[in-house]
Amino acid sequence: MGTSRADALQQASRGFEHRGAHYTIEKLEARQWKVIDAKGRNLGTLQQRSDDGEGGDPVFAVYRPVSDQIYMEGSDWESLVQALINETEAS
């Protein structure tokens, strides 16, 4: 975890593989990214809420589309994005 993993998000967009499918994490603005599936569908938003959470790691939250309530929060942004994808793709 830690800063090096958070630094991977600083690109304008990056590919993300999960369960054999390709997703894109697209930077919207500082500390905020959109998660998009291969069809271009918005699956939700990832937001960095703090630089220094418990253990010194950044804290992230994911939101479902058209919701302002946090779906999940934690320091492992990859696991949060995977959980968001799993929830969205299951519905």
The pLDDT, as a whole number, for residue 57 is 86
- Beta-bridged to residue 22, according to DSSP, are 17
Residue 89 structure tokens: 């793709």
Average pLDDT score, the chain:
86
* Confidence at 48, pLDDT banded by 50, 70, 90: very high
Number of domains in the chain: 1
**Residue 51 pLDDT exceeds 90:** no
Q: If you average pLDDT over residues 86-91, what whole number do you get?
A: 76
Which DSSP symbol is given to 14? E
pTM (global) more than 0.85: no
**Domain with 13 in it:** 2-90
- b/e code 51-65 from CB counts within 10 Å (16+ = b): eeeeeebbbbbbbbe
Q: If you average pLDDT over residues 34-42, what whole number do you get?
A: 94
